[in-house]
């Protein structure tokens, strides 16, 4: 999960850069799609972690 959080942090920094939207739409679309995908993966990982925790308790 830490790896996913770091990747999100990096992608969010890229998107926040002043010239991000000055790039071609192919680049911005790819980065935004990757960010969404990684965020979904992290959410899934947290859901799975909660599920496993509930089995232990």
Q: What is the pLDDT of residue 6?
A: 98
Assess contact for 1 and 46: CB atoms under 8 A. yes
- pLDDT per 10-residue tile (average), the chain, 57 residues: 97 98 97 98 97 89
Q: How far apart are CA 43 and CA 34, in angstroms?
A: 14
Strand stretches in the chain, DSSP E = none
Q: State the CATH class of domain 2-56.
A: mainly alpha
- Please give the structure tokens belonging to residue 29: 């679309």
Q: What is the pLDDT of residue 21?
A: 97
Q: How far apart are CA 28 and CA 57, in angstroms?
A: 44
Q: How far apart are CA 8 and CA 48, in angstroms?
A: 19
* Domain regions of the chain by residue span: 2-56
């Amino acid at each position: 999960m830490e790896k996913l959080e770091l990747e999100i942090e990096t992608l969010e920094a890229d998107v926040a850069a002043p010239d991000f939207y000055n790039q071609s739409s192919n680049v911005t679309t790819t980065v935004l799609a990757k960010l969404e995908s990684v965020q979904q993966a992290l959410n899934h990982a947290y859901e799975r972690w909660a599920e496993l925790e509930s089995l232990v308790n």
